[in-house]
Amino acid sequence: MRHFDDTQEHGGRGGRGGHRGGGGGRVFGHGGLRLVLLQLVADKPRHGYELIKEIGDRLGGSYSPSPGVVYPTLTLLEELGYTTMAESGGGRKLYSITDAGLAHLADHRADADALLARMQDAGSAPVGRPPQVVRALENFKLAMRLRLGAPLTDAQAHAVAQTLDQAAQTIERI
């Protein structure tokens, strides 16, 4: 997997659920994910899920950071005063950049631009799996993690299992 920051310190790695493809290595080195998230929020206020999806899309489906990496990073950015968070209904959190975040981004403009350029290059490189299928699979996995975060009734569990069985049968027929 490609490195998106040249530092060798610990950084935001998607872990088992967010990292695909051959080889090891982290996608974002120390501070890399923070800069990318800041830039995306500077482009327009976004929810965490939108940020995860945007990164995955920009990387052509070859990598999608896990919620377990993105949300703590967003919390850190808020604690540093670089972003603000507002409830936007349904418990969803909308992140916006602050003046301090814009200043931090300006101070690290070259690094942010380099990361975004490498992401673009990686997103345009051919991958073994069609990116639209990888994106849809990641959306599905996130939906399942979120839904299974709370207990299911017996009826809900049967409905989920039936939906999964139908999807599997449909895919087998393609």
Q: What CATH code is carried by the domain that includes residue 96?
A: 1.10.10.10
Cβ 40 vs Cβ 46: under 8 Å: yes
SS3 46: strand
Classify residue 5: in a domain, yes or no. Answer: no
Q: What pLDDT does residue 128 have?
A: 65
Classify residue 106: in a domain, yes or no. Answer: yes
Q: What pLDDT does residue 42 have?
A: 96
Q: What pLDDT does residue 26 have?
A: 58
Residue 117, pLDDT > 80, answer yes
- Cβ neighbours of residue 93 closer than 8 Å, sequence gap 6 or more: 47, 48, 74, 85, 86, 87
Cβ 167 vs Cβ 133: under 8 Å: no
Classify residue 111: in a domain, yes or no. Answer: yes
Beta-carbon neighbour count of residue 30 at 10 Å?
Answer: 15
Residue 19, pLDDT > 60, answer no
Classify residue 39: in a domain, yes or no. Answer: yes
Residue 21, pLDDT > 80, answer no
Residue 84, pLDDT > 80, answer yes
Dist CA 24 CA 174 (whole Å): 32
Domain count, the chain: 1
Q: How far does the chain reach from its first CA to its final CA, in angstroms?
A: 30
Question: pTM for this one?
Answer: 0.58
Cβ 79 vs Cβ 34: under 8 Å: no
Classify residue 54: in a domain, yes or no. Answer: yes
Classify residue 147: in a domain, yes or no. Answer: no
Q: What pLDDT does residue 33 have?
A: 92
Q: What pLDDT does residue 123 have?
A: 58
Structural domain boundaries, residue 30: 15-126
Dist CA 5 CA 28 (whole Å): 5
Classify residue 63: in a domain, yes or no. Answer: yes
Classify residue 3: in a domain, yes or no. Answer: no
- Cα–Cα distance list, 2 to 19, 65, 77, 86, 113 (Å): 11, 14, 25, 34, 17
